[in-house]
Structure 1
Amino acid sequence: MNRITLMVATALVAISPAPAPAKAAPAASPDYAVGPQYDTTHVYVTTEDFDRFVASFTATFGGTTSKQGEFQVTPTTSRTKSQLALTPAGTISVFGFLTPIPYPFGAERTGYLVRDIDGAAASAVKHGATRLITSFPDPIGRDVVVQWAGGVNMQLYWHTAKPDYPALTTVPENRIYLTADAADLFVKQWTGFAHAKVTFDEKAAPGAEIGQPGKTYRRIRLTSGYGKMSVIVSDGQLPWPYGRDMTGYSVADLGATLDKAGAAGVETLVPAHEEGGRQSAIVRFPGGYIAEMHSDVGA
C-alpha cells in the first residue's frame, strides 16, 4: 500500500461513525407473588350452608380454620360471614353475605397475596389486565379486583401484617376454561405478570375428558409463585358440570379422598377417570362449590 492510499484509508476510518451501542434488554417486571399457601379460591355460599360447607371441606382435605367472623370486605356498605380453611391441599376464603353482594364481587375466582398492592396492580395493567375496581382498604390490608383476557377475574391482596401459614403438601391448580379466541392472549398476559412457565401444552387432548367425546381440546399447564394453573381450551360447548370447577386439588390417593368426601356429604359429579396422566374426578360440596380432585396415575 503506497503512502497516499494509506492516508486515505486512515482518514476513512477516522470519519466512520462508531457502532451504535447495543440496546439494553427491557427490565423484567418484579415478581409480586408471596407463595401458594397464601393464595385462596373464593367460595361464596349462603349463610345457611356456611358451616356445613366448611366442615365438609376440612373433613375431605384436613387442616384447620381461622376464627369465623362478620366483616365488611368491600369498599361499599356490605356485611359477610368470612372464614379461612387452611388445608394441606390448598386454602379457601369462604364468604356468606348477610347483605346483597356489591359489584364486582362474587365473580372473582381467586385471591392472590402480593408483596406490593400498588406495584402488582400496575404490573397487571401493564400486562393487559383491566381493573374492575381501584384498590381499596379492607380490615387487614388492601385489595384490587382485575380481569384478564377471556373474562378471568381475580382479586389481589396485600396484608398490613405479613401472615405466616404452613407450606402446602400439594399445590392446587386454578382451572380456567377459555375458547381459542382468548387463550393465547391470556397465557401471554399471565406469564408476563406472574413470571409463569408453561410446563405442558397438549394441542389435541381427548375431548371425552371434558365431556366432549369425539372432539379434542387443548390443555396448557403453567406454574408460578402463585401456584399452578390449567388452561382448558375448547369450543366452549361444555356439558355440565365442566367449566364450573374453578380449582383442582392434588391428593395422594384419589379413591380414599373421594370416600372421605362422600362421608362428609360431598357429591361426586364426574367419577374418577384418566386425564392427562392423572386420575381425576369432579365433586360438589354442600353449598354448591364445585371442584376437581386428582392424583397421579398409579397413586
Structure 2
Amino acid sequence: MADPGTDPTTIAVVLVGVALVIAVGFFEMRFLRKKMKTRRIRAAKKDTELPDEAHNAVVTTKAIAATLERQGVRSPEVNEWIREAETAAGRGNYRVAKDLAGKAKDRLLVLKSQVASKGEVAKLEQLSAVAGDQTTTKERLHKEVAPNFPQSKFSLELAEGALATARAGGRDVVQATELFEAAKARFEAQDYDGALTMARLSKRAAEGKTVEIPAAKPGPAPVAMIAEKLTCPTCSAPLKEDDVFCRKCGTRLSPRECASCGESLLADDEFCAKCGARVSR
C-alpha cells in the first residue's frame, strides 16, 4: 500500500489547494487595499470640502434668521446656536459648526411654518368677519324696497298699456281710467298694496273683462265720514284719509267735504248744499 505522504495524487491536491488559498488571499488583500484607498480619498476630499459646507450652512441660517426677524419672529435660542456655530467654525471644528447651523435652521423653519399657519388663520377670520357684515344685493334691495313696490309699479305699466290698446280699439275705458287714476293716487301715497289691487282691476276693465265694484250701502250716515271712521261701509276694511277706493272690495268712496267751502257732504249729494259747487266723484 502506498504511503499517502508520498502519493503523487495527494501531493498534487494539496498543492492545488494551497495555490487557491494564496490566490484568493492575494486578490482579497488587493481588493481591500483598493477599497481602503478609495475611502481615504473620499474622507480626505470630504474633509477638504467641510469648511465650505460649514461656512455655507452658517451663512444660510443667518440669512433665514434675519428674514424672520424682519417679520417680527425672534428666537434667542437660535441666535445662540448661530453664535456657537460661528465660534466652532473659527476654531476649525467644522463638523460641530455644520451640526449647530443645521439645528438652528430646522428650528427656524418650524417657526416660519407656525407664523404662516397663524397668518392663514387670521386671514380666514378676517374674511369671515367681513363676509358676516356684508349683505347681498338681493338682501339689501329687500330691506330698502317697500313690499309690493315693484309689483305695483309693474302692474301700473301693464294697466297703462292695456288702456292705450283699448283706446286704440275704440272700447269704453271710463271705468278702467278711473281705476287707473285711483291706482296712481295710491302709488303716490305709498299705498303699494292698494295701488297693486287698483292697477290689476284697471287692466281687467281695459281688456273688456267684467270688474265688479260693489256700491256703498245706503244709510243715514254720510259717506263723507268714512275716512274719519277709517273703515269701508261695504266690507269694514281699514281705510286711509285719502282713499278713493276700498283696497279690499274696491268700493268707490265719496269725498267727506266740499272742495270749495268745506261743507260736509252726504253720500248721494250731487251739489254742495252750502255753496252749490258740483261734487266731483
Q: Same fold by TM-score, threshold 0.5 exceeded?
A: no
Structure number with higher relative contact order (C-alpha < 8 Å, ≥ 6 residues apart):
1
- Between structure 1 and structure 2, the one with the greater Rg is 2
TM-score class, shorter-chain normalisation, is under 0.3
Higher helix share: 2
